[in-house]
Amino acid sequence: MKREILIKNAAVTLAALLIFAVLSMFIMDYHTMQNSKDDLERLTYTYKNHLVYNGDYGDFTDIGEELKKSIRITVIADDGTVLGDSYTEPALMDNHLNRPEVQAALNNNPKTDVRNSDTFGIDMLYYAEKVYNEDNTDFVILRVAKKKESINSYIYSTIPVLTLLIISVVAFSVLFTLALNKSILSAFNFVENNLNKISEGRYENIMPNLKHAELNSAVVKLNDIQQKINDSIEVLSSQTEKLDFVLENIKQGIIALDGNMNIVLINTFAKDIFDVKKDITGQNILYSGCGKQFYQSIEKAHRDDGGIFETNRKEKKYTVTVSVKNKGLIESIIILSDVTAIKRMENTRSDFFANASHELKTPITSITGFSELMENEKNPQNIQKYARYIIKDSKRMLRLIDDMLKLSKLDSMTQSSTREKLSVSDIAKEVKDNLSIMAAEKDISININGDAYIYAVKENIYELIENLVTNAIRYNNKGGKVNIDISQNGGTKIIVEDNGIGIAQEHHDRIFERFYRVDKGRSKAEGGTGLGLSIVKHIVSLYGGELLLESNVGKGTKITIKF
């Protein structure tokens, strides 16, 4: 491995130096050429300023023997005829019209051309410009040529220095490589030491990044171990975060106890139940603020290997489930579930069925009794009277069942039910038309004022207004009035007001309960089911509205609904 590193490093260093030398020569040659072109242009400009266009260029082209070795000056007519030259007799020279530098000068775009000279036998740089006479009526072309400078001599002179430099750098590279080999062996020893530390249960996350076969197995082993450790830490961290999130956001109280009834874990929901503000982890549950009775119930559940009981806290009812684990640090898990709403719903359902059974029992008993009388009755007038009673009670029972079905439908309806834009005034007019006979029997006038629009299920808004207007007619005095005021200002407002018998103050809190009646005798006589205002309340709640009641005995009733 040492020899391989040494040879490869020396080869790379030598190659880099040679590449650097070649690139340097190319760059130097490029810059030499650019400098030669600049010098040629400046030289042409100098001769141009001293040239007098008088038709005689012999003196002008006589530049001396020394300059002739590197510079050539030629004067050319606009048709390409050579008028004068510093090196050759013009008469012996061919036409120069097609020379690139001459064409460039004629096109007023002077540029340097590089080509081999037949006269000198070497590469020359050529540059030409126009030279006008004094009155700018005629011109000749001044061409200056210069030998292309070569860097070959420079290269030859630098070979010894470059060779010495390469030898020095390669020698330094060899020394550096030997030091690097020592470092690699030291890294190998470091890997071995780390493996020993891992085997002892200690680990330091500092590893060399090496690619040699001799170290691959050790590096792979270290990487595998590190990866497994990191994965385990990440999994544990993730599980802890998830557990913390669940415990803090679940709507149940959770308490974990050890074998001595000390609290190992308690979430925020459980702390709120017992009104605990500080951290009570480690305390015995007896002193956590839960109360002696709760503690005794937990003790009993521990003795019975688990159990379920109920407890009341802050006017709420909780079901407490105790699961005994007997595993490790945690002895048992206590879960407190808020069942207040469930219990309230169960009581409401129980009351509803009791009231519904009672309400249905009365007309059914009446129908049964009159049916039995009709069976043995021979007087047609009595039979007709009994039939009217049966029909009346049957209709009352049908109304009751219909209202119960409406309530059931409202309970299952959600706010996402299909809605449409409705005119409240149009629905109120429809209600007025349908209740006109009922109103006429008591000589009651129904007035509708204003209008508003609401997005709702038409059946719901119709039921709402119909129940309010029906009650306003039913519990009104003969010749009374019912006003329906509709407005829209930041929302929809519906007001149904009558000047009827009114409702006493002590009934206001319960008037919207199911089957609640202020005057049971009158309500039944008027044909009421006791569910009308409960249906109104359900509809208002369904649409997130507000329901207000104003009523006094003998002064009428005003019910306001705001959406």
The larger pLDDT score, comparing residue 355 to residue 35, is at: 35
Segment among 265-269, 471-475, 550-554 with least mean pLDDT: 265-269
Average pLDDT over residues 458-478: 87
Rounded distance between C-alpha atoms, residue 100 and residue 152, angstroms: 27
pLDDT at 521: 46
Q: At what angle do helices 532-542 and 458-474 cross, to 10 degrees?
A: 150
Q: How far apart are CA 157 and CA 405, in angstroms?
A: 114
Query: How many residues in the chain?
Result: 563
The per-residue b/e assignment along 496-526, b for 16 or more CB within 10 angstroms, e otherwise, is bbbbbbbbeeeeeeebbbbbbbbeeeebbee
Q: What angle do CA 165, 171, 177 make, to 5 degrees?
A: 135
Specify the pLDDT at position 157. Answer: 62
Q: What pLDDT does residue 447 have?
A: 92
Query: Of the spans 392-396, 511-515, 551-555, which averages the highest pLDDT?
Result: 551-555
More confident residue, 498 or 5: 498
pLDDT digits (tens, 9 = 90+) for 17-69: 777 777 777 777 777 778 778 888 888 887 777 665 555 565 556 666 666 67
What does the alpha-carbon distance between residue 347 and residue 505 come to, in Å, rounded to a whole number?
Answer: 26
**Which sequence spans correspond to the domains of the chain?**
2-153, 250-338, 415-562
Judge whether residue 518 has pLDDT over 70: no
Residue 450 predicted with pLDDT over 80? yes
Average pLDDT over residues 264-274: 77
DSSP H helical ranges for 377-423: 380-412
Superfamily of structural domain 415-562 = Histidine kinase-like ATPase, C-terminal domain (3.30.565.10)
Predicted local confidence at residue 523, as pLDDT? 47
Q: Identify which has the larger pLDDT, 128 or 315.
A: 128
Tokens 């020569």 sit on residue: 25
Give the architecture (CATH level 2) of 2-153: 2-Layer Sandwich (3.30)
Q: Do domains 2-153 and 250-338 have the same CATH topology?
A: yes
Topology of the domain covering 250-338: Beta-Lactamase (3.30.450)
- Give the pLDDT score at 89: 83
Residue 287 or residue 167, greater confidence: 167
Tokens of 60: 């002008």
